């Protein structure tokens, strides 16, 4: 099977020739793979069945109002990020938070928000043609990413207060982000002329112990804002994949009601995430992506530990389709390269890569 057919077959809950493979990598791990494989595309070597495209941002980037302008880089929202060292790499931590200074609806109206017009959609269709054999993804985990995305410019505590209290100003800021990315996705899908297979969105609905928000809050606040993206994907003939960290087993029936096709970044560590039980309960309606531990097995296990986990996941989750084998999140720089190779070697049935 070609990669696109393999992925779509699995998402139809039928068994493909082998389990589809996806990768989430920090820049440091990606650099190691590039060096290891030399002239060979590491994605081809690892059997990665997905390719991603997006519309490049063409607007100006700089600090938001009232910010000092000392950060290493800025995003479309005026949020500044500084590169912080950690465990063999660097992480862009939000250090200039201009949305925290928005106090009134007049401030909301006067803020220099980015526009969907600031992106270049013109090359999307041609880019899809170049990767037509792969499962083509558009978007990403940062869309709309209400909790994390807005928090980077406003602060996590304040965003939680905004959501729980229904604060007019906070909700208006959130909806600026949601509406912006909805139109961005709509234009991207339209420009692709039906060639995009998967619209990728993200919202961290769980933590290590369960739901991030009470059911009523999730149903009334998050569901309508997320479902519109799922409906948009289906309108253009694409599947909808949502990235959500944490334990979301209690919310899976709601995801199904929303029409979600693929639940991404499944973490095996939370007590509520039992792969076999989740497969039994929801495996006929949701495709699951992830479940290879980036908290324990990949960084701290042996290559055989990794192989054993991959074998178990494919046996349990891959039966009848509906599973995409992938690390549960971005593989961190402290992970031995031999463990990364073991993951994909085992899934491909190739020894060694």
Backbone angles phi, psi at 70, to 5 degrees: -105, 5
Query: Would you say residue 24 has pLDDT above 90?
Result: yes
Query: Would you say residue 169 has pLDDT above 90?
Result: yes
Query: Would you say residue 351 has pLDDT above 90?
Result: no
What span, in angstroms and rounded, lies between the C-alpha atoms of 28 and 39? 18
CA dihedral of residues 100, 54, 140, 78 (deg, nearest 10): -10
Query: Would you say residue 218 has pLDDT above 90?
Result: yes
Split at pLDDT 50, 70, 90, the class of 352 is confident
For all residues of the chain together, what is the average pLDDT? 97
pTM of the predicted protein model: 0.97
Q: What is the mean pLDDT of residues 240-261?
A: 97
Q: Taking CA 69 as the corner, what is the angle to CA 66 and CA 75, rounded to the nearest 5 degrees?
A: 90
Could you report the per-residue pLDDT of 90-100, keeping only the tens digit for each?
999 999 999 99
The percentage of residues in the chain with a pLDDT greater than 70, rounded to a whole number, is 100
Render 135-164 in DSSP notation, one character per residue. EEEEEEEEEE-HHHHHHHHH-HHHHHHHHH
3-state SS class at 51: strand
Q: What is the reported pLDDT for 310? A: 98
Split at pLDDT 50, 70, 90, the class of 128 is very high
Query: Would you say residue 229 has pLDDT above 90?
Result: yes
What span, in angstroms and rounded, lies between the C-alpha atoms of 155 and 260? 28
Residues with Cβ within 8 Å of 42's Cβ and at least 6 positions away in sequence, in order, are 30, 33, 34, 36
Which domains are present in the chain?
3-56+114-348 (3.20.20.210), 60-102 (no CATH)
Alpha-carbon distances, residue 301 vs 142, 225, 249, 267, 315 (angstroms): 30, 39, 26, 16, 20
Split at pLDDT 50, 70, 90, the class of 106 is very high
Split at pLDDT 50, 70, 90, the class of 103 is very high
Q: What is the reported pLDDT for 87? A: 83
What span, in angstroms and rounded, lies between the C-alpha atoms of 146 and 180? 12
């Amino acid at each position: 099977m070609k990669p696109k057919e393999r992925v779509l077959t699995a998402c139809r809950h039928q068994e493909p020739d082998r389990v589809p493979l996806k990768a989430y990598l920090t820049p440091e791990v990606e650099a190691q793979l590039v060096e290891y494989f030399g002239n060979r595309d590491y994605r081809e070597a690892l059997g990665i069945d997905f390719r991603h495209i997006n519309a490049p941002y063409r607007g100006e980037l700089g600090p938001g109002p009232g910010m000092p302008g000392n950060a290493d880089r800025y995003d479309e929202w005026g949020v500044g990020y500084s590169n912080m060292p950690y465990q063999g790499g660097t992480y862009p931590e939000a250090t200039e938070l201009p949305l925290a200074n928005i106090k009134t609806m007049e401030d909301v109206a006067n803020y220099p928000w980015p526009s969907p017009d600031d992106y270049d959609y013109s090359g999307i269709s041609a880019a899809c043609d170049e990767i037509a054999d792969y499962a083509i993804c558009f978007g990403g985990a940062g869309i709309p990413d209400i909790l994390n995305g807005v928090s980077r410019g406003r602060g996590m505590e304040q965003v939680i207060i905004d959501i729980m209290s229904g604060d007019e100003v906070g909700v208006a800021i959130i909806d600026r982000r949601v509406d912006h990315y909805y139109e961005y996705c709509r234009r991207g899908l339209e420009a692709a002329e039906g060639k995009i297979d998967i619209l990728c969105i993200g919202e961290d609905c769980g933590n290590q112990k369960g739901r991030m928000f009470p059911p009523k809050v999730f149903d009334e606040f998050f569901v309508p804002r997320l479902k519109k993206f799922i409906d948009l994907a289906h309108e253009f003939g694409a599947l909808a994949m949502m990235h959500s960290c944490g334990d979301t087993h209690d919310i899976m029936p709601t995801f199904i009601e929303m029409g979600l096709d693929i639940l991404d970044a499944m973490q095996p560590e939370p007590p509520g995430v039992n792969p076999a039980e989740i497969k039994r309960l929801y495996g006929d309606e949701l495709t699951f992506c992830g479940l290879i531990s980036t908290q324990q097995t990949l960084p701290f296990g042996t290559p055989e530990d990794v192989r054993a986990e991959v074998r178990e996941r494919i046996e349990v989750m891959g039966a009848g389709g509906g599973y995409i084998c992938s690390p549960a999140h971005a593989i961190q720089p402290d992970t031995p390269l031999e463990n990364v190779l073991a993951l994909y070697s085992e899934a491909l049935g190739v020894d060694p890569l």
